[in-house]
Amino acid sequence: MKNLIQIIVRFHFTILFLIIELVCFLLIINNNNYHKTVFLNSNNAISGDIYNKVSTFSDYIRLSTINDQLSTENTLLHNLLSENYKLSADSFFFYEDSVFKQQYVYRSAKVINNSINKQRNYITLNKGKNQGIEPEMGVVANNGVVGIVKSVSDNYSTVLSLLNSRLKISAKIKKNNHHGSLYWDGKDYRRARLIEIPSHVDIKVGDTITTSSFSSVFPEGILLGIADKILPSAGGNFREVIVLISNDFNQLSYVDVIGDLLKNERLELEKEVEK
């Protein structure tokens, strides 16, 4: 207290001057509409800028949580898509209130390891057996196909990436449903090759390439990419198409793992036919 009094006594002229300045400033603002408006606008701009920076910082801190929430919501929306359900009707009776049977289930997962610079690239996910992940399940991201689950442990799984020269995916040209096979040649991580396309088929640069109904892993119609270059036929009955892959594998973060509830039924039936 003694020190405070000494400071006031020592600087009393300066303190008095500042008090008078403040009073004058307030009188000018309160009695002059123009100055009052300028002051309020400046105050709002400054406070708004401060709030914006605080909000941006808070959003950055909560970014991981927000991404998890968005991934979960995206997975829920995937599970509600009509493409995941098959219409079921009795052989002799068809009910007007159409009964649907779900075929595909989506489970969200986070990419915790990923490579793009090898001939055989793999991805590691933070989900495994305990979360319902099994080998041979398809993996997709918002922009399309990512790969196929190769192996699983209790809480992790490895994925055979689309950028793996051993992986071949049944594909089709969306506009006319002509089928082919898509594979990566190990060169450009943004481009793959679509083969087994008959020479007479109409395909142009910009055409959409998706998964086909022949796939036992992916639902039909999942995006693979767009035709980037049509290679001339080498005298045979088929030609190749360079496809710009829809997913940027260098930026993968969250994915969905697809489980086909009717897969075993289909495979068992096909095995019977082969026998």
pLDDT tens per residue, range 158-177: 999 999 999 999 999 999 99
pLDDT value for 100: 52
Q: Which pLDDT score, from 0 to 100, does residue 113 have?
A: 93
Q: Residue 91 is inside which H or E element, if any?
A: none
Give the 3-state DSSP-derived string for 201-254, with helices as H, strands as E and coil as C: CCCCCCCEEEECCCCCCCCCCCEEEEEEEECCCCCCCEEEEEEEECCCHHHCCE
Question: Tokens at residue 175, please?
Answer: 């506009």
CB within 8 Å of 62: residues ≥ 6 apart: none
Domains and CATH numbers, the chain: 2-60 (no CATH), 75-88+99-275 (2.40.10.340)
Single out the residue of 259, 270, 262 nearest to residue 87, CA to CA. Answer: 262
Closest CA to 120 of 68, 164, 61, 85: 164
- Cβ pair 110, 129 in contact under 8 A: no
- The ranges of the chain with pLDDT < 50 are 40-41, 43-45, 47-48, 51-52, 55, 82, 85-99
Which stretches of 12-136 are DSSP H helices? 12-31, 33-61, 63-80
Q: What whole-number distance in Å separates Cα of residue 70 and Cα of residue 73?
A: 5
Which amino acid, 188? D
Within 8 A by CB and 6+ apart from 66, the residues are 59
Q: Is 23 helix (H, G, I), strand (E, B) or coil?
A: helix
Kindly report whether the global pTM for this prediction surpasses the value 0.75.
no
